[in-house]
Amino acid sequence: MPLPPRVRCPKPDTYRSLAPEVQSTEAVTARASDNGPQPHTLLALYQVMVMARAIERRLWVLDHLEPPHTVARSLWPPHPVGRSQPGRKAAPLGVGGATPVVTGFEAVQAAAAAALRIGRDWVVPCHLDLALCLAAGVSPLDVMLAVFGRAADRASAGRQSPGAFGSRAGRIVMTSATAGRSVVQAAGIAYASKVSGRDEVTLVCSDERGVQSGDWHEGINFAGAHGLPLICLVEDLAGAQPLAQSSYGSPAARAEGYGLASETIDGGDFAAALAAFERAVDRARSRGGPTLIHASVVDLTSIGTDGGMRPAEELEALASQDPIDRMRRRLQGAGLLDAAADDDVQRECARVVAAAVEEASTAPSPDVASALDNVFSRV
Partner 1 sequence: MRMIEAVRAAITEEMERDERVLVMGEDVGRKGGVFGATDGLYAKFGEARVLDTPLAESGIVGVAIGAALNGLIPIAEIQFADFIHPAFDQIVSEAARTRYRSNGDWSVPIVIRAPFGGGVHGGLYHSQSVEAFYAHVPGLKVVVPSMPADAKGLLKSAIRDPDPVLFLEHKKVYRLVAEEVPDGDHLVPIGPAVVRREGVKLSCFAWGLMTHYCLQAAEQLAADGTSVEVVDLRCLAPLDRDTILESVRKTGKAMIVHEDNITGGFGAEIAAIISEHAFDSLDGPVVRIAGPDIPAMPFNTPQEEFFMPNPVKIAEAMRKLAAY
Overall residue count recorded for the chain in this entry: 379
Binding mask 149-178 for partner 1 (x = CB under 8 A): -----xxxx-xx---x-xxx----xx-x-x
Identify which of residues 172 and 341 has a Cβ nearer to partner 1 in the complex.
Answer: 172
Least Cα distance to 37 among 23, 21, 25 occurs for 25
In angstroms, the CA 127 to CA 144 distance is 15
Pair 274, 114: CB distance under 8 Å: yes
In angstroms, the CA 330 to CA 342 distance is 13
Q: Is 207 in the site for partner 1 (CB under 8 A)?
A: no
From 184, 252, 284, 357, residue interacting with partner 1 (rule: CB under 8 A): 184
In the complex, the smallest distance separating the C-beta of residue 221 from partner 1, rounded to whole angstroms, is 6
Identify which of residues 21 and 373 has a Cβ nearer to partner 1 in the complex.
Answer: 373
Span 41-60, contacts to partner 1 by CB under 8 A: none
Identify which of residues 215 and 263 has a Cβ nearer to partner 1 in the complex.
Answer: 215
Cis omega (within 30 of 0) for bond into 39? no
Q: Is 257 in the site for partner 1 (CB under 8 A)?
A: no
In the complex, the smallest distance separating the C-beta of residue 197 from partner 1, rounded to whole angstroms, is 10
Q: Is 193 in the site for partner 1 (CB under 8 A)?
A: yes
What radius of gyration, in Å, describes the C-alpha atoms of the chain? 20
* Size of residue set near partner 1 by CB under 8 A: 43
- Collapse the DSSP code of 70 into the 3-class scheme (helix H, G, I; strand E, B; otherwise coil) and give the result: coil
Pair 324, 104: CB distance under 8 Å: no
Identify which of residues 144 and 190 has a Cβ nearer to partner 1 in the complex.
Answer: 190
In angstroms, the CA 187 to CA 103 distance is 28
Task: Please give the angle made by the CA atoms of 348, 159 and 128, to the nearest 5 degrees.
Answer: 50
In the complex, the smallest distance separating the C-beta of residue 177 from partner 1, rounded to whole angstroms, is 8
Span 96-125, contacts to partner 1 by CB under 8 A: 122
From 221, 247, 302, 305, residue interacting with partner 1 (rule: CB under 8 A): 221
Pair 365, 151: CB distance under 8 Å: yes
In angstroms, the CA 164 to CA 373 distance is 19
Q: Which one of the spans 83-91, 92-100, 137-145, 183-191 is the region binding partner 1 (CB under 8 A)?
A: 183-191
Least Cα distance to 105 among 225, 226, 234, 203 occurs for 234
Q: Which residue type does 136 have?
A: A
CA 360 to chain centre: 21
Identify which of residues 137 and 219 has a Cβ nearer to partner 1 in the complex.
Answer: 219
Identify which of residues 42 and 155 has a Cβ nearer to partner 1 in the complex.
Answer: 155
The site for partner 1 (CB under 8 A) is made up of 122, 154-157, 159-160, 164, 166-168, 173-174, 176, 178, 181, 183-193, 195-196, 200, 214-215, 218-219, 221-222, 225, 373-377, 379
